[in-house]
Structure 1
Amino acid sequence: MSDSMPPANRLAATASPYLRQHARNPVDWWPWCDAALAEARAQDRPILLSIGYSACHWCHVMAHESFEDPATAALMNRLFVNIKVDREERPDLDRIYQTAHQLLSSRAGGWPLTVFLTPETLEPFFCGTYFPREPRHGLPAFRQLLEGVERAFREQREAIREQSQGLMAALAELAPRAGAIPDSAPLEGARRQLAASFDAARGGFGGAPKFPRVPDLELLLRHWAATDAAGQPDARALAMVTFTLERMIAGGINDQVGGGFYRYSVDDAWMIPHFEKMLYDNAQLLALCCDAWQATSEPVFRAAAEATADWVIGEMQSDEGGYYSALDADSEGQEGRYYVWTREELEGTLAPEEFAAFAARYGLDGPANFEGRWHLHAQAMPAEVAGRLGLTVAQVEGLIDGARRKLLEVRRARVRPACDEKVLTAWNALMIKGMARAARVLARPDYLASAERALGLVRSTLWRDGRLLASYMDGTAHLPAYLDDHAMLIDALLELLQVRWRRDDLRFAIELAEILLARFEDSGEGGFFFTASDHETLIHRPKPLADESLPAGNAVAARVFQRLGHLLGEPRYLEAAARVLAVAGGDMRRAPYAHASLLMALDEHLEPGETVVVRAPPTELPPWLAELQQTYRPRRSALGIPADEQDLPGNLASMGPGPGARAYLCRGTHCEAPIEELARLPA
């Protein structure tokens, strides 16, 4: 294997933008493939597995310090078979080796993830994350580490084998076992834990860094809705949600100029973010802002939802219809450079009256908050600014909106952060659901059109010969889809069906559900594996239950199987959902705080919600659906099916049309007599 730097290494031929970022490293990189693994076995060299993603700041730092350095690359090439993995394309590998890192080092992992594997078994024997070029912050220099790890591999093979046996036993112990479905105690436990960690001064939970944690907020909002419907609203639960969302929307974690939310805040006050923008965060926050607006009618939530959706359509949706994965945190080699401002730039761009209002709103009369520049973070409400300047609130809002438009034009002339243009099925499904929710709640047909374009791309490129694929870019769709892809796509289809009826969407949802049962379900213990039964054999086959940056795939599967089961009257689907809750019961009891999405599925199991199907001529459906969907009712699914639709599947076949509009109301598996008067619909 040559130590000289080729014009481009093997990563140049891959579809992943992250892997392509490393295509001109002097490192002799391989993608994860059979040939790379065979090379490691043939050479009896350990594998250096480096996992990251395109928008990861510290991945870029390590690449610049080490992977672009000829001396470091020469050492890597001499001692290891080096494999680069995009964690967004291969969440199966990332999930396994992040768990191994936690077991071996007794601390959480992250990215870049640096793992050294034995060539024979692919079991990790040393793990870490970022390593610097020179020793600092208690971390060894990367080159020192490389030499030490390789020496240990040569001299301590027996010790490594014993450690691997212990690691594999620990991974096996993590597999959940079937038990009893919990009662409501974990739901109450989660509410207590969230209330105890709530930051009443700044919103959110715990201290810095602060993440959006949308499932936790959604769980609290759903709880408030249930108590409100019962006549005893839990005002504190609602306040935790609305205050947190308000602080995020006003904060630096929200792009005050262009819309869209950044990944997380590095401080307690939501002021300075980590500047990457991820599709999955924005998808979940879009849906939550719509729910908060529907629950409260507060304009701030509608405005944030529209700003987020408009940003996604304008910057993150391809001409083909799919949604891109992420915007980088860095541009021109600096994190946040695209988004921050000097006072001179602001004064030179804005009219004096605009600058006065903008400066008061965003605290530009105070010290700079980001490396000598300002990252915009609201310091005063428009009413406070109006009082200070002797203007009306409407005048202040008009000046600020005008200032934003001008600043957005200036910003567009800057060097834009790199965009990862991969179309990932699961992440697209989350955004399709968010856009569909926004279309329904905000009455925005353009958002429905966006969702349908994205679904069209998924159907045309990522659904092939009865199999779903995980990733698409530049005309190439590849990689077998995971649990999250299937479950979240079903969830998106069910949301779209509440906006408008399309028979093929229901058929597709059923087909995906059958694939989950046939290829992903654990027929012994219950629940769903992350990978299909015919997936590449890896050292572990996880069954994820806890929420991470995405809702847990098993939780989404449980909820969609419950909803689809009630809609169609299909006991197999309800039984599959119950098996998820049974196998997850122990985890929910031990750590309710970490399982908000599962708890929402548990809640709908303990108290099944309403399924309302309206049959009517197409022109008569809108007022009935508007009545059913005008308030925040998270337990309710409402579908409008044209009266002339025939040969419907399952329980829908018994819901025939009447002489006019007719609504069928079912709670769980119990259905009531049809309703034929709009005034008799439940609130």
Structure 2
Amino acid sequence: MRNTLSQASSPYLLQHQDNPVHWQQWTDEVIAIAKEQDKPILLSIGYSSCHWCHVMAHESFEDDSVAAVMNEHFINIKVDREERPDIDKTFQLAHQLLNRQAGGWPLTAVLDPQTLIPFFSGTYFPKEAKFGLPAFTDLLNRIKQVFDDKRDDIVEQNDRLNEAIKTIAKGASHSDDEISSQATNFLSATADRADKKFGGMEGAPKFPQAAIWEAMLKLIPSNSFSSEQSDEAAEILRETLTGFTRYGLFDHLGGGFFRYCVDERWEIPHFEKMLYDNGQLLSLISQAGHYFADGDLMQSVELTLLWLKEQMLSPEGGYYSALDADSEDQQGRSREGAYYCWSDGDFDVLGNEEQDFAKAYYGLDKPANFEGDWHLQTKNHWRQVAEDRGFHEKQAPILMESARQQLKMIRDKRPLPFRDDKILTSWNALVMQGLLQAKRAGVRTDIDESIQSIKGFFRNCVWRGNELFACYKNGAAYQEGFLDDYAYLAKALVLSLSDNFIQADWVWLKQLCDELWQQFADQNQGGFYFTSDNHETVIARHKTWSDDAMPNSACQALEAVWVVAEMTGDTKRLEFVEKSLKQAATEAKQSPLQHSSVIHLIEQWQQGLEMWVLRGESAEMVSWQRYLKTGLNPYRYVFAIEAGVNDKLLEVKFPAADVMVGYCCREHQCFPAVRDFESLKALSSGDED
């Protein structure tokens, strides 16, 4: 065999095309060779901006002596977890079962070639023994010996592991229990874990966990909490959002959020920027900035939009996947954070007043905080800096912006970290959701152009007939879409139609929901499988309600199917929604923090969708629509449909009239149509009498 990764599309796999390891892609042909030769498969899963993936590659996969052992004893397969999240989910679960602890990347698993069940799993291993870990070659030789000498034991263990994986992958069984609110339990669990001093969850490292905080934000105005509980939730949330936007998780010069921070104070990040984080945080912080009327939060939204446009936007209108943590420093060495960090003399380009302001604002008058350099964070609020340094309050923002722009101009000349330029449908759909929430929050950028651009990418590049593809690179779409892809895009289209109802987008949303229903839904038990009926099944089809680094896609799929079913009067799918939520509630009760998306969807079911459909001429509808969308009403959907839109199902339930008319359905009932603005205001405030 030879290394065949030069044929790959993934930038991560291409990074390994010159390794002496005979890497293969995951294909039926390669699996068949492993079975025929009865040779164990060494599976390595990672992604392009993974720091420890790079470390293991440099130490081991680029080393001839290590490669010789791998090539002699194993069929070696490389997988980009961002291209094949289905494979990653399966083997991360297997790792957890084998080791009684969570996995991560790089994931290193050794599979029985006959069953593809792993009999060994770990993460990073060094070339030489250190960190309490064995040398990689010693480990590989022992694994091969066990495979040869104890095959019966491996088969017995694999039988048990196979059964466990399939049982867990099914998720909770259908429950006939009533769906009840879990908001109070969720708040209690969050408050117990929340870091009251620095925001987020206690301990380090600190990840944003956007799904938890978006659920909290939606529960606050939805009457899910008592007044006292709402105050507590708002305080925890605002402290967390301050942690996200004021310190080291956020790039204060160019915008965008890093993946996580290594300390409890949110000061020093792991410097890679992932698109999926930024899509979620764009959505969360836009909604929170609007709800709390917080200009500082909205400033971070504006800068993140700038970063997306400047460094991540592709010519096709979609956004690239990630920026690496490492880049070249001034000495030409690859170093983590080199692009973002500053040394003492770097600030001499600023004028005296700007430098004085910047040092106090960014904490440069304090000791360097990262390997002898400064990673910028706002140690003091700009109003406090103005007061302490004697600047007029109107002068301070001007100095702040001038310093930011000058420092950014210098930084823009540095070598950009490696950019993973594949475009992932699911991650881009999260960005589209964020763009639409930013527009609703009133950002002042050219947001409509960005929304149309990314929507054009989806239509023109990854949507073929009724099929959605998960990846796009070098002008070609590939890899059949997963639940993430269909669900996040469907949710994005619901938000888009609420912003601007276009008939072609409505038809598209119905097509996506039909595919979710036909290819992913477990129509008997409820819920959605991560893979479609047409996908390859690697050990098991997964069905879960928990959030991970991204929001639970089954919840977003269910929400989109629910909205369309309400709009079209599809009772069969509404029954499926209820069945699914009963199943999801069973899991959420056991671990509320891992099921925050479920919990706010359950609350939405308890209170009922508030569905508004406006019919009439666009000029008159604007004021009605704007009024209904004022504030944060998390369970309210407003669709302003011009009289010329032709859809038989909509016309039955929400017929157009000669005058403006508004239809409202909420709390599982529909009200008589309203034909004047005052009646609409009364009905929307709950005063329908």
Shorter-normalised TM range: over 0.9
1:568/1:652 contact within 8 Å kept: no
1:19/1:85 contact within 8 Å kept: yes
Normalised TM-score (structure 1): 0.96
Map 1:340-379 → 2, pairs under 5 A:
340-346=341-347, 348-379=348-379
Deviation at 1:227, TM superposition (A): 2.8
Deviation at 1:192, TM superposition (A): 0.5
1:283 aligns with 2:279: yes
CA deviation profile, 1:528-557 (whole Å, cap 9, x unmatched): 111111211311111021100111121112
CA deviation profile, 1:247-303 (whole Å, cap 9, x unmatched): 210010000110000001111111001111111111111111111122111111211
1:559 aligns with 2:559: yes
Within the candidate set 293, 297, 300, 1:304 is matched to 300
1:392 aligns with 2:354: no
Map 1:145-164 → 2, pairs under 5 A:
145-164=139-158
1:82 aligns with 2:76: yes
Deviation at 1:34, TM superposition (A): 1.4
- Report the secondary structure of 1:234's partner residue: helix
1:566/1:669 contact within 8 Å kept: no
Deviation at 1:407, TM superposition (A): 1.0
2:567/2:653 contact within 8 Å kept: no
In the superposition, relative to structure 1, how do residues 524 and 573 fare at CA in structure 2: closer, same or farther (>3 Å)?
A: closer
Deviation at 1:585, TM superposition (A): 2.7
Deviation at 1:173, TM superposition (A): 2.6
2:219/2:225 contact within 8 Å kept: no
Deviation at 1:229, TM superposition (A): 10
The match for 2:595 is 595
The match for 1:195 is 191
1:189/1:592 contact within 8 Å kept: yes
1:432/1:452 contact within 8 Å kept: no
2:183/2:225 contact within 8 Å kept: no
The match for 1:644 is 644
In the superposition, relative to structure 1, how do residues 294 and 676 fare at CA in structure 2: closer, same or farther (>3 Å)?
A: farther
Map 1:135-534 → 2, pairs under 5 A:
135-174=129-168, 175=170, 176-181=172-177, 183-227=179-223, 234-332=230-328, 333-346=334-347, 348-442=348-442, 444=444, 446-534=446-534
The match for 1:675 is 674
- Report the secondary structure of 2:394's partner residue: helix
Mean CA deviation greater in 580-589 or 538-547? 580-589
Unaligned 5+ residue runs, structure 1?
A: 3-8
2:336 maps to amino acid? E
The match for 1:6 is none
1:610 maps to amino acid? E
- Report the secondary structure of 1:453's partner residue: helix
Query: In structure 2, what is the Cα distance between the partners aligned to 1:465 and 1:167?
Result: 39
Mean CA deviation greater in 579-588 or 273-282? 579-588
Structure 1 segments of 4+ aligned residues over 6 angstroms from their partners: 228-233
1:325/1:420 contact within 8 Å kept: yes
CA deviation profile, 1:95-146 (whole Å, cap 9, x unmatched): 0000000000111100000010011111100000011111111111111111
1:80 maps to amino acid? F
Query: In structure 1, what is the Cα distance between the partners aligned to 2:245 and 2:546?
Result: 26
Mean CA deviation greater in 121-130 or 29-38? 29-38
Unaligned 5+ residue runs, structure 2?
A: 329-333
Query: In structure 2, what is the Cα distance between the partners aligned to 1:158 and 1:228?
Result: 55
2:568/2:653 contact within 8 Å kept: no
1:451 maps to amino acid? I
Normalised TM-score (structure 2): 0.95
Deviation at 1:487, TM superposition (A): 1.0
Deviation at 1:159, TM superposition (A): 0.6
1:570/1:650 contact within 8 Å kept: no
Deviation at 1:191, TM superposition (A): 1.0
Deviation at 1:527, TM superposition (A): 1.1
The match for 1:43 is 37
2:339/2:417 contact within 8 Å kept: yes
In the superposition, relative to structure 1, how do residues 649 and 125 fare at CA in structure 2: closer, same or farther (>3 Å)?
A: farther
Query: In structure 1, what is the Cα distance between the partners aligned to 2:394 and 2:247?
Result: 21
1:122 maps to amino acid? L
In the superposition, relative to structure 1, how do residues 323 and 74 fare at CA in structure 2: closer, same or farther (>3 Å)?
A: same
The match for 2:7 is 13
Query: In structure 1, what is the Cα distance between the partners aligned to 2:200 and 2:678?
Result: 40
Within the candidate set 25, 36, 39, 2:19 is matched to 25
In the superposition, relative to structure 1, how do residues 491 and 28 fare at CA in structure 2: closer, same or farther (>3 Å)?
A: same
Deviation at 1:228, TM superposition (A): 8.9
Query: In structure 2, what is the Cα distance between the partners aligned to 1:551 and 1:156?
Result: 41
Query: In structure 2, what is the Cα distance between the partners aligned to 1:117 and 1:31?
Result: 15
CA deviation profile, 1:605-645 (whole Å, cap 9, x unmatched): 11113111111212222222111112111110111111222
In the superposition, relative to structure 1, how do residues 53 and 649 fare at CA in structure 2: closer, same or farther (>3 Å)?
A: farther
1:663/1:675 contact within 8 Å kept: yes
Map 1:530-541 → 2, pairs under 5 A:
530-541=530-541
CA deviation profile, 1:458-498 (whole Å, cap 9, x unmatched): 12221223211111110121111111111111100000011
CA deviation profile, 1:82-104 (whole Å, cap 9, x unmatched): 10000000000000000000000
Query: In structure 2, what is the Cα distance between the partners aligned to 1:269 and 1:587?
Result: 32
Query: In structure 2, what is the Cα distance between the partners aligned to 1:323 and 1:652?
Result: 37
Report how many aligned residue pairs link the two structures.
675
Deviation at 1:73, TM superposition (A): 1.1
